[in-house]
């Protein structure tokens, strides 16, 4: 770690002043610095491997090109990483980097994290939640340009980028309706998960518009719940021709239930999942609604970057489309 090269060294080697170096390297030299001096500066910079000290530059310009991110437990799940990764990529493309810290769902740590990030003069703040939920931002968070990811502010003071769960619930239902199903069962998740209610709303909308019939059966989120509830629902005189599942793991349970009962998918039973879980959906050939985590992260970063560019930040919830991933688990019902 030899002493760092500074603009002073470059200026000396090129035989110009430090300001000349600054102008040339920041593209503000045209018509200000002679062509040969420009060349000399560039040559010297290259020879010395000069990189401007970002800290000094930040101090001067009062901009760190850094977005502070508070995550609530992002690494524990399968999906959180995709959001952060999407945000990182979009930010990096504009020269911004993410400074991340995890609060482990601890309110005190959250506040402390905001403080740490603010002390480092982040240009903007982002709060990212593993699972969609309501989040009350501390005052210090609101003092900056800020945004929520996979979360929303109950008081609506900050905008939040979220997956469009209603559309997702509607799409999954419509896929079954369009295939011709009229007797549909929806194995729902649990109410403490906010997405659940929204998906149900979307589902009901689609059903009502169609005139078909659906039954909602509380189930849960895990494979064994899918197996158990799926078996109960299917092992009756007039079973549904299609099942919509709370998520892909439940769908996997339904696959098992169907296999047990000798029902083939999709010939005897159509199944649609939710999440596009990479560990489940492709293996099963499951048609499912994609939770657009990466796109959400990208969206959040680009909104924040826009705000730093002077654009207005939106308010309220910013839904990101949840597309349908079609595989082989849905077909027309046996007539």
Site mask for DNA (CB under 7 A), range 19-58, x = bound: xxxxx-xx-x--xxxx--x------------x-xx--xx-
Binding residues for its own copies, rule CB under 8 A, total 48
In the complex, minimum distance from the CB of residue 169 to DNA, in angstroms, rounded to a whole number: 49
What angle, 0 to 180 degrees and rounded to 10, lies between the N-to-C axes of helices 7-14 and 18-25?
Answer: 100
Are 67 and 145 contacting, i.e. CB atoms less than 8 angstroms apart? no
Segment near its own copies (CB under 8 A), from 10-18, 33-41, 76-84, 229-237? 76-84
In the complex, minimum distance from the CB of residue 195 to its own copies, in angstroms, rounded to a whole number: 19
Residue 131 touches its own copies, criterion: CB under 8 A? no
Nearer to its own copies, 55 or 236 (CB): 55
Q: What would the two tokens of residue 201 be? A: 């709303």
Q: What angle do CA 278, 279, 282 make, to 5 degrees?
A: 60
Are 49 and 5 contacting, i.e. CB atoms less than 8 angstroms apart? yes
What is d(CA 182, CA 156) in angstroms, rounded to the nearest whole number? 39
Q: How far is CA 194 from CA 30, 77, 150, 166, in A?
A: 56, 17, 11, 11
Binding-site partner at residue 105 among DNA, its own copies, none, CB < 5 to 8 Å by type: none
Q: Hey, which residues does 38 pair with through a beta bridge?
A: none
Interaction with its own copies in 43-62: which residues (CB under 8 A)? 51-56, 58-59
Q: In the set 12, 48, 97, 216, which binds its own copies (CB under 8 A)?
A: 97
**DSSP secondary structure letters along 244-309:** EESSHHHHHHHHHHHHHTT--TTTT-EEEEEE--TTTHHHHT-EEEE--HHHHHHHHHHHHHHHHT
In the complex, minimum distance from the CB of residue 67 to its own copies, in angstroms, rounded to a whole number: 10
Binding-site partner at residue 22 among its own copies, DNA, none, CB < 5 to 8 Å by type: DNA
Segment near DNA (CB under 7 A), from 5-13, 95-103, 158-166, 275-283? 5-13
Binding-site partner at residue 23 among its own copies, DNA, none, CB < 5 to 8 Å by type: DNA
Are 257 and 300 contacting, i.e. CB atoms less than 8 angstroms apart? no
- Residue 49 contacts by C-beta under 8 Å, 6 or more apart in sequence? 5
Positions in the binding site for DNA (CB under 7 A): 4, 6-8, 15-23, 25-26, 28, 31-34, 37, 50, 52-53, 56-57, 59-62
Positions in the binding site for its own copies (CB under 8 A): 1, 51-56, 58-59, 64, 66, 74-76, 78, 80-82, 84-85, 88-89, 92, 95, 97-102, 104, 113, 115-121, 143-145, 223-224, 277, 279-280, 283
């Amino acid at each position: 770690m030899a002493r760092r090269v500074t603009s002073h060294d470059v200026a000396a080697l090129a035989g110009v002043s430090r300001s000349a170096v600054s102008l040339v390297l920041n593209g503000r030299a045209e018509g200000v610095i002679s062509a040969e001096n420009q060349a000399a500066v560039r040559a010297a910079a290259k020879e010395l491997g000069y990189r401007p000290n970002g800290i000094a530059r930040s101090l001067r310009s009062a901009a760190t090109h850094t977005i502070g991110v508070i995550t609530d437990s992002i690494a524990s799940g399968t999906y959180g990483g995709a959001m952060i990764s999407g945000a990182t990529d979009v930010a990096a493309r504009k020269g911004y980097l993410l400074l991340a810290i995890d609060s482990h769902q601890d309110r005190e740590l959250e506040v402390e994290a905001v403080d740490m990030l603010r002390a480092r003069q982040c240009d903007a703040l982002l709060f990212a939640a593993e699972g969609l939920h309501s989040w009350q931002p501390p005052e210090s968070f609101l003092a900056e340009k800020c945004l929520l990811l996979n979360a929303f502010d109950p008081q609506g003071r900050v905008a939040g980028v979220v997956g469009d769960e209603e559309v997702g619930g509607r799409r999954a239902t419509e896929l079954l309706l369009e295939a011709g199903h009229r007797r549909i069962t929806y194995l729902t998740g649990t109410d403490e998960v906010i997405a659940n209610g929204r998906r149900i709303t979307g589902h009901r909308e689609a059903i009502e518009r169609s005139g078909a019939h659906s039954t909602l059966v509380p189930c849960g989120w895990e494979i064994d719940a899918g197996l158990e509830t799926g078996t109960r629902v299917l092992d009756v005189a007039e079973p549904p021709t299609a099942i919509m599942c709370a998520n892909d793991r439940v769908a996997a349970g339904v696959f098992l239930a169907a296999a047990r009962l000798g029902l083939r998918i999709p010939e005897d039973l159509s199944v649609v999942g939710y999440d596009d879980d990479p560990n489940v959906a492709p293996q099963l050939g499951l048609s499912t609604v994609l939770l657009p985590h990466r796109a959400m992260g990208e969206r959040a970063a680009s909104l924040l970057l826009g705000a730093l560019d002077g654009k207005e930040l939106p308010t309220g919830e910013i839904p990101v489309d949840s597309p349908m991933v079609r595989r082989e688990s849905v077909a027309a019902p046996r007539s």
